Every structure is written in C-alpha cells, then in structure tokens.
A = this chain, B = another copy of it.
Amino acid sequence: MSLPHAILTALVEKPSSGLELTRRFDKSIGYFWSATHQQIYRELGKLERDGLIRALPSPVPARGQKKEYEVLPDGRAELARWTAAPQEPKTLRDPLLLRLRSAAVVGTDGVDTELRRHLDLHRQQLETYRDIEKRDFPPERDAVPDRLRRAVLQAGIDLETFWVEWLERTLSELDR
C-alpha cells in the first residue's frame, strides 16, 4: 500500500490539487513511484474519507473547480508509522529478464533489437537523472533531508547504470 503514502508525502511537502499532484508525480516523485491522475483522484477520495487529509475550504465546491488538499495530523502520524514499519523488500519481477529466459527455449530472433532499444532508453534516463543531480544537489546542500533525497536519486542513477552495463555485456554475449 504505497500510493496513499506517496501522496501523503507529496502533500506534506506542499499542499496541492489533484492535477498539481499528477504533474509532480510526472516529474520528481514518479521517478521511483509513478501514478496516473485516475489513481490519484481515487486515492485522494479515500484519504479524505479516512480523515488523513482535508480539502482546503473553497468558495466554489463544484466539478471542474480546483480543489487543494492538505495533510491532517492523523495523516502525518500514519505516514511516520508506515515509513519506519517493517516491510519485505520487493521481489524482482522483470519482463525483460523473462523474455531472455524464454528466448533460450524459442530462439533469439529479434531479441537483440529489443535489447538495443532498451539500452538506448536506459542511457537517456541515466542522462536525465544526472541532469537532476546537477540542478538539485549542489555540494553545499548537506542537511539530513538533502542527504536522503540525494540517496534516492543515487539509487536511480545506480540502477540505470546497472541496466546500461548489463545490456551492453549481454548484447556482446549474443553477438559472439
């Protein structure tokens, strides 16, 4: 159950409307937890019903009208509880690895094209992360929250680096 907590985190950082949240997920948050606007609206409804967030008072409460949410004390408490609670690490589940395994039994025709395409995409993503690193993390920012956010970005950089190197090696293994 991570989506509600992703939303709570975003709203603690800054109260927002559904669409603003969607845009923020498309940018920074979505790099490690993506969500569509449909998911976000559905979850905002639940969080409000459960008393974890509330809509800021607005003169015109109608459809098509912007609606800002903020986190209530119960929501902040739930977020703190969830953040430190024991959770099992996500088990690996990756379609590309599965496809290589299946290529071992049905043949490798066309697989290398896909591997090369993925290599390109991962190189692009790696570049994007490096740009964010330059832009958002100058050396002078070194408080604990900055170090945490930086560690998260570093995980993204390391994972993309892994994919790039692994794909390069696997492609050269296939060409032998």
Interface of A toward B, CB cutoff 8 Å? 2, 5-6, 8-9, 12-13, 29-34, 76, 79-80, 82-111, 113-114, 117-118, 121-122, 144-149, 151-152, 154-156, 158-159, 162-163, 165-166, 169-170, 173-174, 176
Q: Contacts A100-B152, A109-B80; is A147 near B174 (CB within 8 Å)?
A: yes
Bound complex: CA of A91 vs CA of B125, how far in Å?
A: 10
Decide if A101 touches B148 in the complex (CB within 8 Å): yes
Q: Which of B5, B80, B88, B162 contacts A107 (CB 8 A)?
A: B80
Bound complex: CA of A89 vs CA of B102, how far in Å?
A: 17
Which chain B residues lie closer than 8 Å to A98 at the CB level?
2, 5-6, 9, 32-33
* Majority secondary structure of chain A interface residues (helix, strand, loop or mixed): helix
Q: List 18 A-B contacts (CB under 8 A).
A: A29-B101, A34-B91, A76-B106, A80-B109, A82-B99, A83-B102, A84-B103, A84-B110, A85-B114, A89-B163, A90-B96, A97-B155, A100-B151, A147-B173, A147-B174, A147-B176, A154-B169, A159-B162
Which chain B residues lie closer than 8 Å to A33 at the CB level?
93-95, 97-98
Bound complex: CA of A79 vs CA of B109, how far in Å?
A: 12
Decide if A94 touches B162 in the complex (CB within 8 Å): no
Bound complex: CA of A110 vs CA of B120, how far in Å?
A: 39
In the complex, how many angstroms separate the beta carbon of A99 from the nearest chain B beta carbon?
5
